[in-house]
Homo-oligomer: A and B are copies of this chain.
Amino acid sequence: MRSTTSSSSGPRRPAATGADDLTTRARIRDAAIARFARDGFGASLRTIAADAGVSAGLVVHHFGSKDGLRAACDTYVFEAVRDAKTEAVSPENPDAGPMSLLAQLATIEDYAPVFEYTLRSLQAGGDLARSFVAHLTEVTQEYLAAGVAAGTIRPSRDEAARASYLVSLSLGSLLVDGVLRDRTEPRDPGADLREYVGRVMLPALEVFTEGLFVEPTLLDAYVQHTTHQEETP
């Protein structure tokens, strides 16, 4: 029996867009990931089928429905990101913090569709986006904790809240930047990300090393305000 319907255990190497020696099912899934990433999840089954060089009926034959295809793409992308994370974590690169994973992910050429799909999924919301953000928050918290222990990163009054906030900052900024990009001209995700980093790196480093306010008045007032509220409920 060939690996015709291997839904549970996908292949290890993810989304090599040039390889056509894949299972038809895998080819459809890769085409769907690329098309979903480019046009959003409103892309039609017929377009995806045409991209994969198959008929529309075959897609639903393999995945049951469009939602099934979407679910298959989600789990595949999630596993790809999870696998890529472990080998991409290297804390000595000069990045503005928790988005180093994403940045390194996009540099790898093969992962470009996965990276785009992840951003598109974050834009659309849904379970993949939620679990992805949760996962990234967890990684970020560990990353920050290591920095705090090493004395390179300032401690926070609420480490979990800070990690969550930093993730939403980084991802949100990246998302806004991508959403505002003109979608008529042809896009190169690698170049886009590189331009984004070049445009954002200086203010990011400024804010994250020097801060924004010269005096801690606002922070002190807020901390005192909340602690007073806690003492007298």
Contact = CB atoms under 8 A, between A and B. Distances in A.
A1 interface: no
Given A173-B172, A180-B133, A209 B200 contact: no
Interface stretch (A8-16, A43-51, A100-108, A160-168): A160-168
Contact of A176 (B122, B158, B199, B214): B122
B211 A161 contact: no
Interface string A202-233: 11111111111111101101110010000000
Given A169-B172, A172-B175, A206 B219 contact: yes
User: Interface centre among A129, A166, A181, A206, by most B CB within 10 Å?
Assistant: A206
Contacts of A169: 169, 172-173
Interface stretch (A20-28, A72-80, A147-155): A147-155
A176 B161 CA distance: 15
A: contact size bracket: 35 or more
A174 interface: yes
Contact of A203 (B129, B165, B199, B200): B165
A15 to B, nearest CB: 24
A67 to B, nearest CB: 16
A107 B192 CA distance: 36
Contacts of A206: 156-157, 162, 219
Contacts of A223: 202
Nearest to A159: B203
B222 A161 contact: no
Contact of A154 (B154, B175, B213, B222): B213
Contacts of A164: 199, 203
6 contacts: A133-B180, A153-B212, A154-B211, A165-B173, A209-B211, A210-B211
Closest 8 CB pairs of A and B: A172-B172, A165-B203, A208-B212, A162-B203, A211-B211, A172-B176, A205-B219, A125-B179
